[in-house]
Amino acid sequence: MERIKIEQHGFTAFSWFAGWLFTVGFLHLPFWPAVWAILLWPYFIGQAVSAIAQR
């Protein structure tokens, strides 16, 4: 009989959301720039982490 392992990754989503809220609050962004931030912020974070990982 196979064992089934269930993993939850809720902390990852929470940390992403918390980082997004921090960014929006820190920069005092109005509504529409904040909407763009929710879409573009992960891309720029991914680019930064990728550049660090390739060193």
Domain extents in the chain: 28-55
> Where does 1-55 have alpha helices with state H?
10-27, 31-53
State the amino acid at position 19 in one-letter form. Answer: G
C-alpha dihedral, 52 to 14 to 12 to 21, nearest 10°: -20
pLDDT in tens, 9-53: 777 778 878 887 887 788 787 888 888 877 887 787 788 888 888
Which pLDDT belongs to residue 24? 79
CA distance 17 to 11: 10
Which pLDDT belongs to residue 26? 84
pTM here is 0.45
Query: What 3-state DSSP class applies to 54?
Result: coil
Token digits of residue 11: 């902390």
